[in-house]
Amino acid sequence: MNVVGRRRRYVLWGLVLLGVWSIVALLNSLQWYMGGLAAGQGPTWPQLLGYAVASNSIWFLLTPLVVAFAHLTPFRPRGGLRFFLVHLMAAVGFALLQTALYIGLMWLLGAQALGRMLVQKLSGNFQINLLIYAIIVALVVGANAYRALRDREVAGARMEARLAEAESAALRAQLQPHFLFNTLNAISALVEDEPRRARRLIAKLGDLLRLSIEDHRAPQSAFGDELDFTEAYLAIEQARLGPRLRVVRDVEPDALTCLVPTLLLQPLVENAIRHGIAPLVEGGTVTIAAKVAGGQLHVTVVDDGKGAADIVERVGLGNARRRLRQLYGDRHSLEVVTAPRAGFRVTLVTPL
C-alpha cells in the first residue's frame, strides 16, 4: 500500500473511531440524565453530555495505543496465561491513565471538587475502564484471527489452483504423445508400400504439431480452433483409411467461438475412429455436431462403428472427464452411450 493509500486508511479508521466514541458519549449522557430524573435531581442533560464527551474523548485518543499494544502482544494458544497477565496489568495502567487524563482535563476546564471527582471515577468508573480495555483487545484478537483464517483460505485456494494447473498441463502433455504414437505407427505402415501417401501424412502431422505448439499454453481454446486441429487429424486418418472413413459435420456458427478445454475434441474423434470405424472392413461414419442451447455448448461425436457391450474409459475419455471436472466442477456433463454394432455416442455439455 502506498503512502496515499495508507493515509486514507488512517483517516478512515480515525473517522470510524470518532463516530463510535461519539455514539458511546451520547448514550452515556442519556443514561446519566435518565438516572438523574428517576432520582429527582442531577445536572442538566447538556452538562452531562459535556462530561460524557470529555470522558470518551480520552478513550478515543487512547484506543490507537491499546490497539498497537494488542498487536505487539498477540494471543498465542500456548501462552494464554502470559497473555492474560500482561493485559491485566496493561488494563489497570490504561484505566488509571484514563482517570488521570480525565481529572486533568476537568482541571483545565475549571471544574471544582477535583478530589471528590477522582474518588467517584476510581470507585464508579474504574471497572468500566477495565471492561473497555478488554473489549478493544478482544476486537483486535478477533480481527487477527479472522485475517489469519482468510489468509489460510486464500493460500489454500491458490495452492489448489496451482495443483489443478499442473495436473491440466500434465494431462495435456499426456494427450500429445498418445496421439503421436498412433500417428507414427500409421505412417510407419505406409512408408514402404505407399511412400507418397506417407509423405502427405508427415506433412499433415507437421501441421498438427504446429497447431499443438500454438495452443500449448492455453487451458481453453475456441471450439473453432479445436475443430481446425481435429480436421488436420481427420485428414491424416482419411488418407490412411480412404473411403472406409466418412465424416459428417453439423456445427452451428455460434458454437465456433465457445471456449472448450484445449485438445478435448480430437481425442473423442480419435476414439470413434480407432475403436469404432477402423476395426470394420466396410468402415463407417463419424458425425461431429455442435450447437449452443440454453446457455450451454452441446457437442456430440457419434460413430456407427463396432460399438461395445460395456463402456471402457481409457486414456482419451478418462483424460477428458478429469479435465472437464477441473475446469467446470459439476457444471458440465459427459455422457457415453454404446451398443454392439451401433457405435459410440459421446455427448458433452459445458457452460458458456
Residue whose cell numbers read 495452492: 159
User: Considering only CA atoms, which of 187, 194, 257, 184 is closest in space to residue 226?
Assistant: 257
Residues 38, 133, single domain; the answer is yes
**Packing angle of the helix pair 45-72, 3-39 (nearest 10 deg):** 140
Q: Is residue 94 part of a domain?
A: yes
Q: Is residue 197 part of a domain?
A: no
Residues 148, 264, single domain; the answer is no
What integer is the mean pLDDT of 102-127? 79
Residues 136, 9, single domain; the answer is yes
User: Considering only CA atoms, which of 305, 252, 260 is closest in space to residue 278?
Assistant: 305
Residues 243, 148, single domain; the answer is no
R_g of the chain computed on alpha carbons: 38
Residue whose cell numbers read 472413413: 245
Residues 123, 236, single domain; the answer is no
What integer is the mean pLDDT of 171-192? 68
What digits encode the pLDDT tens for the residues 217-244? Answer: 566 788 998 888 888 778 878 877 788 8
- Count the helix, strand and coil residues of the chain and give each as a percent rounded to the nearest 5: 70, 15, 15
Tell me the C-alpha distance between 313 and 319, whole Å.
9
What digits encode the pLDDT tens for the residues 302-326? Answer: 999 888 777 776 666 777 787 788 7
Q: Is residue 194 part of a domain?
A: no
Q: Are strands 296-303 and 259-261 parallel, antiparallel or unpaired?
A: unpaired
Name the residue range of residue 98's domain. Answer: 3-167
Q: Is residue 278 part of a domain?
A: yes
Tell me the C-alpha distance between 188 and 204, whole Å.
14
Q: Is residue 48 part of a domain?
A: yes
Q: Is residue 200 part of a domain?
A: no
**Packing angle of the helix pair 223-241, 195-214 (nearest 10 deg):** 170
Residues 224, 134, single domain; the answer is no
What integer is the mean pLDDT of 119-127? 78
Is the separation of the CB atoms in 66 and 133 below 8 Å?
yes
User: Considering only CA atoms, which of 350, 185, 343 is closest in space to residue 265?
Assistant: 350
Coil, helix or strand at residue 349 = strand
Residues 163, 245, single domain; the answer is no
What integer is the mean pLDDT of 247-274? 87
Coil, helix or strand at residue 126 = helix
Is the separation of the CB atoms in 212 and 179 below 8 Å?
no
What digits encode the pLDDT tens for the residues 87-96? Answer: 999 999 998 8
How many structural domains does the chain have? Answer: 2
